[in-house]
Amino acid sequence: MGIRRFTTVLAKDFWNLVKLNLIFCACALPSIALFVLAYLGVLGGFALVLSLIAAFPIGGAASAGMFCVTKMLRDDPGYLWHDFKRKYTENMKQAMAPGILSTLFLYAQIYLWRDLTHGGADADLALIVMGALSILIFGMVAPYIFVQIAYIELATSKIIKNSVLISFANSAYSFLGALMGFAVWIAFALFLPESLLAAPVLLVLGFSMSWLLNLLWIWPAVDKQFSIEKTLRSRRDRI
C-alpha cells in the first residue's frame, strides 16, 4: 500500500473509478436532491424525511463501491458493473440501515456546521469540538462497517462492534484513513463558494477517490483481522 500503490491504481483503473463514482452518484442523487430542497426550505421537514427514505440504496452502493475499490487495490481482475451489481444485490438489505443512518448523520452535520458558521465569533466552542470529534469518529468507524458487509457474513450488530474495535485497535491508520477520505470534501466545504467550480470533478471522482484514499490505510487492518486475501486465494486455487 502507500503512494506507489495509489498511483498504480489511479493509472490503471482511472476510468473504472470514474464509472464507479457515477454509478454511486446515480444511487445517491434522489436523496441528495431532496435534501437540497429541505436545506433551501422547500417542503421543509417533509423533504428531509423523503430524503432519508430515498437514501435506502446508499448503504448497499457504498458497500459495493468499496468492494470494487478493494479489488483494484488487490489487483484482482473483474468487471466493474458485474461486481458492483452482484455485491449491491447481496448486501442491499443488510447495508440499508447503516446507509440511512450514515446519511442522516452527514445531513445533520451539514445543518450543524451551517449554524456554527452563521454564529461567527459567538459560535459555541464546545459544539465545534463535539462536531469535529463526531465527524472524526464516524470517518474512522463507518468504512469498516461497509467493507465488512461486503466481505464478511456476520450479523450487523457484530459488524458494528468489530468496526469499533478494529478502528481503535488500529487508531493511527484509521485516523489517517478518515483524514484522507474526507480531505476532498473538507477542502470543498472550506473554500465555498469558490469551490463550486470543482463540483463537476466531485461528480465524476469525489466518492471513489475518497474510498481509494481511505482504503489505502484501512484495508491492511481488515485483511489482517479476517485473512480475506488468503481465503480468496485458497478458493481460487481450489477452482
Cα gap 139→178, rounded to integer Å: 5
Handedness of CA 208, 47, 120, 196 (dihedral sign): positive
Q: pLDDT for 59-74, tens place per residue?
A: 999 999 999 999 999 8
Query: Which of 35-44, 166-175, 217-226 has the weakest average pLDDT?
Result: 35-44
**Is residue 124 scored above 80 in pLDDT?**
no
**Is residue 115 scored above 60 in pLDDT?**
yes
The answer to pTM > 0.85 is yes
Name, in order, each residue with C-beta under 8 angstroms of 165's C-beta and a sequence gap of 6 or more: none
Kindly state the percentage of the chain with pLDDT values over 70.
Answer: 93
Name, in order, each residue with C-beta under 8 angstroms of 127's C-beta and a sequence gap of 6 or more: 112, 116
